[in-house]
Amino acid sequence: MAEDILAPLAGKIIKMHIEPGTKIEEDDEVLIIEAMKMETPVFAPCDGTVKEIKVKEGDSVEEDDLIAVVE
């Protein structure tokens, strides 16, 4: 079953720690979003393998935008 990683807030992707095929565990840090000069880490919602990534470093995202799909 696939699970989505969503942006917890609006901001800019400043660092990606994953790519398609990366094996992750629940609560691993997968990327960092910068908003109002504060860096916010985003954590994996589940164990699995990154199937697809919808953003890249430098992209702006809105709250609840799809960042990646884990299966």
Q: What is the DSSP string of 12-67?
A: EEEEE---TT-EE-TT-EEEEEEETTEEEEEE-SSSEEEEEE---TT-EE-TT-EE
Boundaries of domain holding 50: 3-70
Angle at the Cα of 29 from the Cα atoms of 24 and 35, rounded to 5 degrees: 140
pLDDT, tens digit (0-9, with 9 covering 90-100), for 21-60: 999 999 999 999 999 999 999 999 999 999 999 999 999 9
Give residue 1's pLDDT: 73
Read off the tokens for 70: 């884990």
- pLDDT 10s digits, 14-30: 999 999 999 999 999 99
Q: What is the pTM of this model?
A: 0.89
- Strand duo 29-35 + 23-24: pairing: unpaired
Number of domains in the chain: 1
- Find the CATH number of the domain harbouring 22: 2.40.50.100
